[in-house]
């Protein structure tokens, strides 16, 4: 966004904020969606096939390590989806752009599915490695709590009839929930020491997962990110059209 100091406030928003206009947003998302679908499909196919069939087995974990190509990206996206909802909620509360509120609403079910994938693949991976499907480990527990937050958020969207009221209430809940989700993460850490290994990927650490696993993992993560974007764009478009249909029906009834 460009800030112009000498001119008076522009009548039409420029740059990034101009996509708050639903028509412009829809046009943009329609142009970009096919590319997103294709790219995410290609990345997922390459990353998963490369990861599953063309990497060696881990010397301790054997072939079970290969579930990492589903587990890590979905866990990453589960957290990032909530973060995206937080940003979108803030934009809605501050600038009142409807597209933003609808994007937050559209992202929530995707985030839930990512959380479930991370939990299920984690259980499937944990069974041979730790000898248990589930342990009350801090990371596992915080993910379960994140899942509950998602459920509450979606339930609140569903329960409120008026769309603007629902957007306001869910945004407030998202802000408060974010604070409490972080607080729970640390509380849970304090409460129990875990089985789960440390971070698999980080930017500031020398030691990451070995390169043979690392490269296909990055491709798979890119695939998940693109898939998330495609789903959110698609679902936001659906929400916008749904709302427009409702408005048209309401106008028809009044006429």
Partner 1 sequence: MKALLLRDLMLAFRAGGGFGLGLAFFLIVTVLVPFSVGPQSDLLARIAPGVLWLGALLACLLSLDRLLALDLEDGSLDLLATSPLPLEAALSIKALAHWLTTGLPLVLAAPLFGVLLNLPGPGYIWLVISLALGTPALSVIGTFGAALTVGIKRGGLLLSLLVLPLYVPTLIFGAETARRGAAGMDTSTPALMLAGITLAVIAVMPFASAAALRVNLR
- The binding site for partner 1 (CB under 8 A) comprises 145, 148-149, 151-152, 155-156, 159-160, 165, 168-169, 172-173, 175-177, 180, 183-184, 186-188, 190-191
Nearer to partner 1, 10 or 152 (CB): 152
Report the alpha-carbon distance of residue 156 to residue 145 in Å, rounded.
17
Report the alpha-carbon distance of residue 14 to residue 145 in Å, rounded.
39
Nearer to partner 1, 129 or 187 (CB): 187
Shortest Å, Cβ 92 to partner 1: 12
Shortest Å, Cβ 173 to partner 1: 6
- Say how far residue 112 (Cα) sits from the centre of its chain: 8
Shortest Å, Cβ 184 to partner 1: 5
Residue 131, CB-side half-sphere exposure with 13 Å CA sphere: 0
Nearer to partner 1, 66 or 105 (CB): 105
Shortest Å, Cβ 106 to partner 1: 20
Residue indicated by tokens 């866990």: 75
Strand partners, 62: 58
Report the alpha-carbon distance of residue 246 to residue 141 in Å, rounded.
40
Nearer to partner 1, 123 or 160 (CB): 160
Shortest Å, Cβ 133 to partner 1: 22
Report the alpha-carbon distance of residue 77 to residue 89 in Å, rounded.
18
Shortest Å, Cβ 171 to partner 1: 9
Nearer to partner 1, 44 or 119 (CB): 119
∠ CA 116-220-237 to the nearest 5 degrees? 65
* Local structure of 11: helix, strand or coil: coil
Residue indicated by tokens 């998602």: 150
Nearer to partner 1, 133 or 186 (CB): 186
């Amino acid at each position: 966004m460009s800030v112009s100091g000498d001119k008076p406030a522009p009548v039409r928003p420029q740059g990034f904020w101009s996509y708050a206009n639903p028509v412009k947003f829809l046009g943009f998302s329609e142009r970009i969606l096919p590319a997103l679908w294709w790219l995410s499909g290609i990345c997922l196919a390459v990353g998963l096939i490369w990861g599953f069939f063309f990497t060696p087995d881990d010397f301790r974990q054997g072939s079970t390590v290969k579930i990492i190509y589903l587990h890590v990206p979905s866990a990453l996206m589960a957290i990032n989806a909530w973060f995206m909802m937080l940003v979108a909620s803030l934009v809605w509360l501050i600038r009142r752009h409807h597209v933003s509120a609808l994007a937050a609403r559209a992202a929530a079910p995707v985030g839930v599915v990512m959380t479930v994938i991370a939990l299920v693949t984690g259980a499937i991976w944990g069974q041979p490695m730790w000898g248990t499907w589930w342990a009350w480990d801090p990371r596992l527990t915080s993910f379960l709590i994140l899942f509950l937050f998602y459920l509450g958020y979606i339930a609140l969207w569903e329960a409120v009839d008026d769309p603007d009221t629902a957007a306001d209430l869910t945004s407030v809940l998202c802000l408060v929930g974010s604070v409490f989700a972080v607080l729970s993460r640390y509380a849970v850490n304090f409460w129990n020491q875990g089985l789960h290994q440390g971070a698999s990927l980080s930017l500031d650490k020398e030691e990451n997962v070995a390169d043979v696993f690392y490269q296909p993992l990055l491709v798979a993560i890119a695939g998940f990110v693109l898939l998330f974007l495609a789903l959110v764009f698609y679902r936001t478009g659906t929400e916008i059209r749904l709302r427009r249909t409702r408005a048209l029906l309401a106008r028809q009834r009044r006429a």
